[in-house]
Amino acid sequence: MTTNPSAELLDNLLTLTGRTTAVREEVRVWSMSGVERVTFSDCSTAIFKYARKPFDSEDQALRLARTLGLPVPQVHASAVLDGWLGMFIEDLGPSVREADELDCVAAAVVLHGARTAPPLPVLDQERLRALPGRALEHLERLRKADRWQETDDVENALDRISRAAEARSAGATLAPFGWVHSEFHPTSLHIGRRGWRMLDFARAFTGPGLLDLASWHGTVEAPQPVRLRTLLERYVTAGGTPDALASRGGLAAESWALGWHRVWAVEWFMEQAVRWVDEPATDPTYLKVVRRHLDDVLHLLEV
């Protein structure tokens, strides 16, 4: 595991902003990133956020989003060190409440209505249907490392999804297609005294906006297509494109979105296991999540 260089990153950011000291207060810290509130000698504050690859370009995404008029916190300064990003960003203060479904659809309409941004990675139909194949490649690498050995069920499920992917991925570029937050949850919206802001753009890309709406309720519980259909209808009522309700890939919009969101999540979990986290001790946890998501995908995409 790469050594966390947050102290050195903080020093670099202090130098960039002409400051000498800051008191650190943890907000949320995990193995690949951290969020802290820092208080400077003049009693002003900022959020100090640091993250390792593949989350090390969020400063670019936030600056781009702000340039395009999206409501995101301002990046005051950023620096990169040994594959880690450090940022001072605007401190929005305490939230006044948790975001709800009305906040979700209002924010999604604004995000999906923004002009597309060429620097962002693209997830179009070709790349969407390649996801199960990429997951199979991750599985092969894990097996070669003498990990994930009793996983014929995972391989078979990914094979089935891969064979159906061309047909089921149809409609990927139907509107809304553009900015995708990709980690769009209630915690990704900050509702403060001065309005709302979108947070956590580390994995933003250009792709099917329905994936954002499919992610809102999380993936801990079983997918609920009826609940997502209601959210999609609210999205359209709030000003989102009516095409959000259109069937695609031979499936209802809600089943398509939930199914492909979980394919996307499976590939991401497996890439984390083999590339970014690469800790065999975490394999049982990752494998349990992957199996559960694959069961959901087989049902949702009807493969």
Looking at 33, 64, 89, which one is the last position of a domain? 89
Q: Are 274 and 150 within one domain? A: yes
| Of the candidates 211, 226, 146, 219, the residue with the CA atom closest to the CA atom of residue 180 | 211
Q: Are 236 and 278 within one domain? A: yes
* CB 197, CB 189: distance < 8 Å: yes
Q: According to the model, what pLDDT value does residue 150 have?
A: 95
Whether the pTM exceeds 0.85: the reply is yes
Give Cα 240 distance to the centre of its chain: 21
Q: Are 32 and 70 within one domain? A: yes
Q: Residue 39: give the domain boundaries.
A: 6-89
- From CA 62, how far away is CA 203, in angstroms rounded? 11
Give Cα 48 distance to the centre of its chain: 20
Q: Are 61 and 167 within one domain? A: no
* CB 269, CB 261: distance < 8 Å: no
Structurally, the chain folds into a number of domains equal to 2
Mean pLDDT by 10 residues, the chain (303 residues): 81 95 90 92 96 92 96 97 95 95 98 90 97 98 96 98 98 97 95 94 96 96 97 98 98 98 96 87 94 98 97
39: domain CATH number? 3.30.200.20
Q: Are 61 and 201 within one domain? A: no
- From CA 164, how far away is CA 159, in angstroms rounded? 9
- From CA 210, how far away is CA 232, in angstroms rounded? 8
105: domain CATH number? 3.90.1200.10
118 Cβ neighbours under 8 A, 6+ residues apart? none
Q: According to the model, what pLDDT value does residue 2 have?
A: 53
* CB 245, CB 232: distance < 8 Å: yes
* CB 262, CB 300: distance < 8 Å: yes
Q: According to the model, what pLDDT value does residue 241 have?
A: 98
- From CA 110, how far away is CA 101, in angstroms rounded? 14
What does the DSSP assignment read for 38-103?
Answer: EEETTS-EEEEEEEETTSTTHHHHHHHHHHTT---PPEEEEEEETTEEEEEE------SB---HHH
Q: Are 136 and 186 within one domain? A: yes
Q: Are 78 and 135 within one domain? A: no
Looking at 89, 122, 139, which one is the last position of a domain? 89
Q: Are 64 and 119 within one domain? A: no
Q: According to the model, what pLDDT value does residue 1 have?
A: 44
